[in-house]
Amino acid sequence: MRKQAAAFTAIFLTVAGAATGEDWLVHGGTQTNQLFSALNQINEQTISRLGLVWSRELGTSRGLEATPIVADGVIYATGSWSVVFAFDAKTGKTKWTYDPRVPRERAYFFCCDVVNRGVALHNGKVYVGTLDGRLVALDQRSGTPVWSVQTTDPAKAYSITAAPLVAGDKVVIGNAGSEYGVRGYITAYDAENGRQVWRFYTVPGDPKQGFESKAMEMAAATWHGKDWWRTGAGGSPWEGMSYDPDLDLIFFGSGNASTWYRSLRGGGDSLFTACILAVKATTGELAWYFQTTPGDSFDYDATQTIVQADLTIKGRLRKTVLQANKNGFFYVLDRQTGEFLSAAPFVSGITWASGVDPQTGRPIEMPGVGDASPKVLSPEPNGAHNWNPMAFHPGTGLVYLPERIGTQMVHVPDRNWKYNAARDNLGIDGTYEGPLYAKVASMAQPRGELLAWDPIAQKAVWRAGYPVVDGGGVLATAGNLVFQGRADGILAAYRATDGEPLWRFDAGTGIMAPPVTYTVAGVQYVTVLAGWGGSSGLMNMPSVGAVKPGWGRILVFAMDGNSRLKVPPFGHKDPPVPAIIIKQNPQTVHEGALLFNGHCFSCHGLNAVAGPLPDLRYATTQTLDSFESILLSGSLASEGMPSFSKILSAKEVEAIRAYVIARSQETAKPAPASQRR
Ligand code: CA
């Protein structure tokens, strides 16, 4: 105990000179993106008194991924479909909401749920990127739009889920869509009027059209296939920007190439996909890049949090950036130059690479991983760590992050893949029925832990396990605390120095977003959005564990808070009662199973067992009777169920319907005779 108190004092002294962080003004807490607060009213001694002050339902069962921004007693947060909320921080009263009315029929092109990760605030305006590619500036007091620009070509499969980044007098936004085939870029706009200042592409375009810069010309030499630019090439910078005003640099990560598979792209490193990049904030010129996964074949986007930290490495104070990459390695780079300083695996069980070359930082791939043969690899595409922000505590010198251990995916590149703008372009062969799925089923289940990592020594200091694979974003505070929510709905606080669990609260539904902390009238609060979804939630693989889908909400805590959370019921308690009992043709059901797990499972769950979205085993007679009109005529497009008319034939839809009915019967309670037909 005495040792802990001493450690706490040391931490307090170390950070006492830091900003007190009374508001939470930028996405990462401060420009360093450390998700750290110097507030310490709530600390390891007082945390037992922490309780709920208020909560508000956000009217959605989809994933909530936003980091709230708090200024002058108002919380600004985003929900599903890029809706913005402003709440009175003390009372929870809604001050305004802004709904950008994203067309629901675009839902097919949102790979990973209709999420948004938050707003940016600057000079009386609130900025939000919308799922349909707009950047909107709202009046901070009223929520009324001041200006709006379309940052993407609406005819292409672009989307925005990231929070904008304010860099000086500019507001910068990236985009998503590599999974479908688009050309990634970030754009800087004048924060006052929305005028475009510069654009930086993450991948080159058609060489015949000429290159925008020397960087693009250099990158084009690393693409070896024929007509590779026709897919857009990918590289979506969909999350994880930060800004260093002293260096005039913006750091961000880029996503995978289109298609996922190097063997289908014709080889090469495919610059600047799966890279950490730095561009000059004033001009948008490339300053440096570091490719974490050259020639990526496994969706190892480098879009995870990029934390800035000044660390003494080998006796020299270095300005660094830190990233716990999807690919399983923790990177430390010099943020002035991009120089590779070190990397180490932060999870066990990585099977795509045996390590990282200590001189160059290039991963040492296992033999054959880039070829087109079927294989099982870890980590799977949601990564050893995904977008959920990690925190850095300058007092303990540790990084705290949600790690995903032992996740596996069967990769089967489709040798017949051809780019098709109407659908996803991952290049996966959905007809594969070989033994690798059975192999994965026989392997140890993946698991999740909160990991405290020493970025200088590149080693784990402590780990705190939980019963789900997916942990949420992390907040570290000068109260010697680390806060983290997770997919089973628990918001927990741990002692930062040793991982001792100190406090927990059941938020009623899974948490993905990071908590934030701030003061209003001298009282320290902790706030988090709870709402389970995202790609992991929607796919609902059995390996995700005891996750909790439900209705999303914002929760606010302070010492001696004594509100009780009322959790409205969600989902189905009992097995399905099939709406239709019919004898099925086993061949049709089998074809339907392959089609369902190829086209439908990424929203309606593997094997038709769903999480946040409708579980089709419970479909009513009316739904089953309208199946073709829903899938091919888009009759539920206004509710976010897109038409598949460009992807599926009527015969294929009938097979999917047969499979859904079969799954309902397989998992059902015996049905009363009156329902048989
Ligand atoms: Ca990706």
**How far apart, in whole angstroms, are the C-alpha atoms of residue 190 and residue 168?**
10
DSSP string, 613-626: S--GGG--HHHHHT
CA of 441 to the centre of ligand 1 (A): 24
Task: Tell me what pLDDT residue 672 has.
Answer: 60
Tokens of 53: 């002050």
What Å distances lie between residue 566 and 93, 163, 255, CA to CA?
A: 17, 30, 39
- Distance CA(400)–CA(461), nearest Å, equals 10
Q: Which of 296, 299, 429, 488 is catalytic?
A: 299
For the cut 90, the answer to whether the pLDDT of residue 648 exceeds it is yes
Q: What is the pLDDT of residue 671?
A: 56
Q: What does the pLDDT read at residue 77?
A: 98
Length of the chain equals 677
CA of 377 to the centre of ligand 1 (A): 16
Helix, strand or coil, per DSSP, at residue 59: coil
Q: Which two tokens stand for residue 659?
A: 């499979």
Mean pLDDT of 221-231: 96
Using DSSP's 3-state secondary structure scheme, residue 108 falls into: helix
Say how many Å lie between the CA of residue 274 and the centre of ligand 1.
9
**Rounded to an integer, what distance in angstroms lies between the CA atom of residue 278 and that of residue 255?**
15
Average pLDDT, the chain: 94
DSSP-based three-state secondary structure for 639:
helix
pTM over 0.85: yes
Q: In Å, how far are 333, 363, 664 from 677, measured between CA atoms?
A: 66, 59, 15
pLDDT value, residue 20: 52
Distances (CA, A) of 205 to 208, 209, 509, 563: 9, 8, 43, 55
Give me ligand 1 centre to Cα 268, in Å. Answer: 18
What are the structure tokens assigned to 555, written together? Answer: 């929760």
Question: Which is nearest to 212 in space by CA: 153, 272, 255?
Answer: 272
Contact 632, 643 (CB under 8 A): yes
Q: In the block, which residue shows the tokens 């620009």?
A: 149
User: Tokens 């001041």 map to which residue?
Assistant: 146
Contacts of 138 (CB under 8 A, 6+ apart): 84, 98, 125, 126, 127, 128, 144, 145, 146
Q: What's the gap in Å between 25 CA and the centre of ligand 1?
A: 28
CA distance 212 to 524: 49
Q: What is the pLDDT of residues 275-303, one digit of tens each?
A: 999 999 999 999 999 999 999 999 999 99
- Sequential DSSP letters for 362-423: -EEEPTTTTSSS-EEESS-TT-SS-SS--EEETTTTEEEEEEEES--EEE-B-TT----TTS
The Å distance, Cα 177 to ligand 1 centre, comes to 8
The Å distance, Cα 300 to ligand 1 centre, comes to 7
Cα 425 to ligand 1 centroid, rounded to whole Å:
11
Q: Catalytic site residue 299?
A: yes
Mean pLDDT of 41-58: 98
For 439, the token pair is: 């192999």
Q: How confident is the model at residue 437 (pLDDT cuts 50, 70, 90)?
A: very high
Ramachandran quadrant class, 265 (left: phi over 0; alpha: psi -120 to 50; beta: rest): alpha
Tell me: the pLDDT tens digits for 588-601?
999 999 999 999 99
Question: What are 553's two structure tokens?
Answer: 């909400």
At 82 the three-state DSSP class reads helix
Residues, beta carbon < 5 Å, ion ligand 1: 255-256, 299, 301
First CA to last CA distance, the chain = 70
Which of the residue ranges 301-315, 400-414, 567-581 would you say has the lowest mean pLDDT?
A: 567-581
Compute, in angstroms, the gap from residue 314 CA to the centroid of ligand 1.
Answer: 35
The pLDDT confidence band at residue 16, using thresholds 50, 70 and 90, is very low
Q: What are the chain's domains?
A: 2-366+375-559 (2.140.10.10), 586-675 (1.10.760.10)
Q: What is the mean pLDDT of residues 473-495?
A: 98
Flag the least confident range among 236-240, 528-532, 573-577, 616-620.
573-577
Does residue 385 surpass a pLDDT of 70?
A: yes
Cα-to-centroid distance, 424 and ligand 1 (Å): 12
Centre of ligand 1 from the C-alpha of residue 400, in Å: 23
pLDDT value at position 13?
Answer: 38
Residue 21: pLDDT above 80? no
- In angstroms, the CA 643 to CA 653 distance is 11
What 3-state DSSP class applies to 31? coil
State the distance from the centre of ligand 1 to the C-alpha of 24, rounded, in angstroms: 29
Q: What is the pLDDT at residue 674?
A: 61
- Given this model, what pLDDT does residue 6 score? 43
Which of 169, 177, 197, 158 shows the shortest CA–CA distance to 285? Answer: 197
Task: For 206-244, give the secondary structure using H, E and C.
Answer: CHHHCCCCHHHHHHHCCCCCCCHHHHCCECCCCCCCEEE
Q: Tell whether the model's pLDDT for residue 425 goes beyond 60.
A: yes
3-class secondary structure, 251: strand
Distance between CA atoms of residues 44 and 193, nearest Å:
46
Each residue's pLDDT tens digit, 123-168: 999 999 999 999 999 999 999 999 999 999 999 999 999 999 999 9
Instruction: Yes or no: say if 277 and 254 are a contact pair by the CB < 8 Å rule.
Output: yes
Sign of CA dihedral 355, 359, 361, 364: negative
